[in-house]
Amino acid sequence: MNRQSFRDDLAFGRPRLDAPTAEEIASHLSQSRREFLRATAGLALGTAVGRSSPFLRGEAIRKKRKTIVVTFGGGARDQETFAPEGQENIPHLINELAPQSSFFTHVTNQGILGHYVATASLTTGVYETLNNFSAVPPEHPTVFEYFRKDLRRPASDTWVVAPSNGFNRIGESDSRSYGPGTGAAVILPKHLLSATASGTTEDLDHLLRDNYETPFYTPQIGGGEFELQQLGSILRLSVADFMAHARTLSSPDELSVYIAKRLMQQEAPSLLWITMHDIDVAHSGAFSLYVEGIRRTDRLCAELWKTVQSEPEYAGNTTMFILPDFGRDSDFEPGGNGFQHHRTGDVASRTTWMMALGAGVRPGVVFDDPMQSVDLVPTLGAMLGFTPAQSTGRPIKEFM
Amino acid sequence: MQPSELQAEQFSGYPPEARRVVLAHLEALRELPLIFIPSLLREVIDYDFKFPTERSAIEGELVLLSKSSQAQRHDRLQAFERLSISPKLERSDWINQPAQFTEQLSAYLWSTHQLDAFRAAATEYGARLQSEMPSEPLPTHRLGIAVIGQRVTSFDGRLFKNLREHGTYFNQINPEHGLELLLEAVAARSKANTVPYGHWYVDGGQEASHGALLTCVSYKSLEPVREALLRNVKAEIEKPGMGPEELRTHLARLTPSDLGMNSDGDAVLDRFQLKVLTEGSGTQIFSTTFAQWTAREVLRRAQALTLLVRFAPRQRQRPMNELLSSSQGDSEVDPIGSLIDADMASYYHWINQRRLPGYDQSAFLVWFEGHNEALVIAPTLPRGTTSNSVLDLGQLLSLAIS
């Protein structure tokens, strides 16, 4: 994220292809998603069906309600997803999930476009400014801390499953009023893998280097004892069973979804946050691997939703949100290199979408009004009944 | 330190040509805002290792700034002057480490939400600069060639998807001696229009026999350098306190000799290749990324008149279960995945070529190596059409540049 250099733009001149304004691009992206969803998945325009909340209300419902947030750490662009030429990559999102969802076509991220800092911002509802490459907690209280404190929920009621690097601190903030012990426990599946694998190999090192923004660097975090304890006491898995299952999976995100399913079965948390990361292989510059990552994420989202339907604790009372943390650079941004990075801060890299589906959500509706990624936490607060006092976002009006 | 305090002796660490350029324009440099000047010095400090087009651009910009009155300079740079920088950045050694400054400035701009304002200022400055800089006519129309799909026997997908609307798709191409014909043609261009670093051949694998006047870069020939780089990085990341940003700074300071490049070679080309490997994400790992990024940098920096890029199969990305089983597979390649990578890369090749002067007269050809499919974008050929003409690659190229 830190390589913006206007001299790259200068030396390369201004784009000579038709260059619409930022607002036009953002609006076009939003409209394309809407039109495509209307044509393909039969979704209706939200403004046409009224402004009443798509969510059910009431304390009794809140108590039973489960919420799952799935973010993609590694945005996917429209041309590889919701644009006509990208639809072949997301058959599950388009054909299975979109028709059941309220779809928000115009989500903007005005913060720093690094995956850890952006995901931290999603969890706090504030554009955090922490160092993307450091394992530091967010400055502001997280959704997990608000949720637990205001609703008096135990630690076991909220969990984060996240990729390894840096994300181990995402469950709770540095805030004086909250902080250590008041947020969510974080499970890092790949570190779990590292702790259980006997004899680290070069290949495993490669697997742990999951921060594609800095492909050489393997972050060092705490020792393996905590992970092993989690494996046995929380996931109720033996090391042998865990490793045997891991050997059947093709990617770290598949492992994350496997862990999330175990958590749902064993702990049934009310607020579960899953961050996927396979798509971010795009930083390696291999387009085919980036597209493979999108296809896998598409499949895993559907798989997770299927699990929600089949788990008694979740079936019928779960709302799931799916959103990329941000986009990726446009092909036409001279300072970038297209899909590979998200370094320019251009409109394509800042504009994305969100899908909400499940309990109380009005299915098959598209909302075009712009929202910001920091609006998610206040929206969750309004839904679940907690007050994210320090968030700078606003509850999404379509949910009010 | 502020730019107004700049003194000649502070540039004693600069290479000779860079120092000469700086000292010739020191008066103007003293008038520039601090937020702006390190990004200019970042280019100047490498002047001795820049391509001719880059040198011209640097000197042209400095001449323009020197010729401007104080009021004109203020008018040109006022959008930068409105931005703030941190005291830490002000205190940094931005004269001798301008790249480090710009790296840290970038992080600062992101964290203070000034990035968009900076981009707007830079865009405005760049547009004005371009409009005021004299442009030389090109000695010949620019030509780009991408050869994709090496070792792919068959492919069911639709190639050139992004390019078809811009050019003519050919489906009856005779592939025989295709690469040789293309390389002969670009060699002929390099002889007919001798321009230093004007005609390039980039190969994602082992380079084929090619004309002596072509500047050639290949993934295979850089294998010892890539291995040395990976060893260097491995040693660095094991040091205490090393993080991603420290590693990036370390990589930026590497010189060709640090990685065993021959000191008798072409210093400009060596430095270019080093930067491809140290600045390009994934260039050290995947040959397709190496070829794509090299092509981008050849166009951006050298503004090549001719650029032929041939993609080779990259190593296969091994799935997690395979990595866990420790089975061997490093030497395996992924021809189909590489074809998909290269297909997208050829689109970027064309986009990057279009960013350069003379874009409306330039030609671009992409060919599925060993097969009948190709596409040509040229001012003389229709867009969005299919041709069944039976042509060999030499004839197709003649059509493209006619």
Domains of chain B, by residue range, sit at: 3-132, 143-222+266-401
- Rounded CA gap, B300 and B26, in Å? 27
pLDDT of residue A4: 40
Of the pLDDT bands very low, low, confident and very high (cuts 50, 70, 90), residue A343 is: confident
Whether A17 shows a pLDDT value over 50: the answer reads no
In a domain, A320, yes or no: yes
Residue A375, φ and ψ in degrees, nearest 5: -80, -15
- Residues whose CB falls within 8 Å of the CB of residue A373, separated by 6 or more in sequence, listed in order: A107, A108, A109, A111, A118, A121, A122, A323, A325, A326, A352, A393
CATH code at position A274 = 3.40.720.10
Averaged pLDDT, B72-92: 94
Q: What DSSP string describes B177-246? A: THHHHHHHHHHHHHHHS--TT-EEEEESSSPPP--TTSEEEETTTTHHHHHHHHHHHHHHHTSTT--HHH
Q: With 80 as the cut, is the pLDDT of residue A214 above it?
A: no
pLDDT over 50 at A15, yes or no: no
> pLDDT: is A54 or B158 the higher one?
B158
Query: What's the confidence (pLDDT) of residue A27?
Result: 65
pLDDT class of A205 with cuts at 50, 70, 90: low
Q: Has residue B208 got a pLDDT over 60?
A: yes
The predicted pLDDT at position A61 comes to 56
Select from B280, B323, B337 the Cβ nearest to the Cβ of A288.
B337
CA distance B300 to chain A (A): 5
Confirm whether A288 is domain-assigned.
yes
pLDDT 10s digits, B310-331: 999 999 988 877 777 655 555 6
Instruction: Please check whether residue A4 lies inside any domain of the structure.
Output: no
Q: Is residue A5 assigned to a domain?
A: no
CA distance A368 to chain B (A): 24
Indicate yes or no: CB of B337 within 8 angstroms of CB of A250. Answer: no
- Report DSSP letters for A383-394, one per residue: HHT---TT----
> What is the pTM for the complete model shown?
0.91
State how far residue B126 is from chain A, nearest Cα, in angstroms.
5
pLDDT tens per residue, range B7-63: 999 999 999 999 999 999 999 999 999 999 999 999 999 999 999 999 999 999 999
pLDDT at position A39 is 65
Contact at 8 Å (CB) between A171 and A160?
A: yes
Q: Report which DSSP code applies to B300.
A: I
**CB contact (8 A) between residue A286 and residue B288:** yes
Q: What's the whole-number average pLDDT of chain A? A: 84
Name the residue of chain B whose CA is nearest to A134's CA: B243
Confirm if A346 and A329 have CB atoms less than 8 A apart: yes
- pLDDT tens digit sequence for A164-200: 666 888 999 999 999 789 999 999 888 888 777 755 4
Q: Find the mean pLDDT for residues B374-400.
A: 98
Q: Please state which of the ranges A101-110, A198-207, B19-28, B99-108 shows the lowest mean pLDDT.
A: A198-207
B39 contacts in chain A (CB < 8 Å):
5-7
**Least confident among A56-70, B41-55, B382-396:** A56-70
pLDDT grade for A223, boundaries at 50, 70 and 90: very low
* Least trusted range by pLDDT, from A201-215, B261-275, B367-381: A201-215
| pLDDT band with cut points at 50, 70 and 90 for residue A279 | very high
Within-domain flag for A6: no
Question: A25 pLDDT band (50/70/90 cuts)?
Answer: low
All residues of chain A having their beta carbon less than 8 Å from the beta carbon of residue B131 are none
**How many contacts does A have with B, using Cβ atoms within 8 A?**
185
Q: Identify all chain A residues contacting B113, using CB atoms and an 8 Å cutoff.
A: 110, 127
Paired with B363 in beta bridges are B143
Number of domains in chain A: 1
| A7 domain residue, yes or no | no
Q: Is the ipTM of this complex over 0.90?
A: yes
The string of pLDDT tens digits covering residues B255-303 is 999 999 987 889 999 999 999 999 999 999 999 999 999 999 999 999 9
Chain A residues touching residue B118 (CB < 8 angstroms): 4, 6
**Per-residue pLDDT reduced to its tens digit, A135-160:** 789 999 999 999 999 999 999 999 99
Asked if residue B206 has pLDDT above 90, the reply is yes
Tell the residue number behind the tokens 């050298």, with chain if given.
Answer: B302
Residues of A in contact with B325 (CB under 8 A): 247
Mean pLDDT of A266-293: 95
Highest mean pLDDT among A30-39, A210-219, B110-119, B337-346: B337-346
Nearest to A81 by CA among A286, A347, A323: A323
- Whether the per-residue pLDDT at B360 is higher than 80: the answer is yes
Q: Provide the pLDDT confidence category of residue A48 given band limits of 50, 70 and 90.
A: very low
- Residues 6+ away with beta carbon under 8 Å from B70: B31
Query: Which residues contact residue B334 at a Cβ distance below 8 angstroms, ignoring those fewer than 6 apart?
Result: A288, B313, B314, B315, B316, B317
The pLDDT score that the predictor gives to residue A198 is 57
Q: Which residues pair with A312 in a beta bridge?
A: none
Q: Domain containing A331: what range?
A: 21-48+55-399
Residue (of A167, A166, A213, A164) closest to A190 by Cα position: A164
pLDDT in the model for residue A71: 96
Structural domain contains residue A3: no
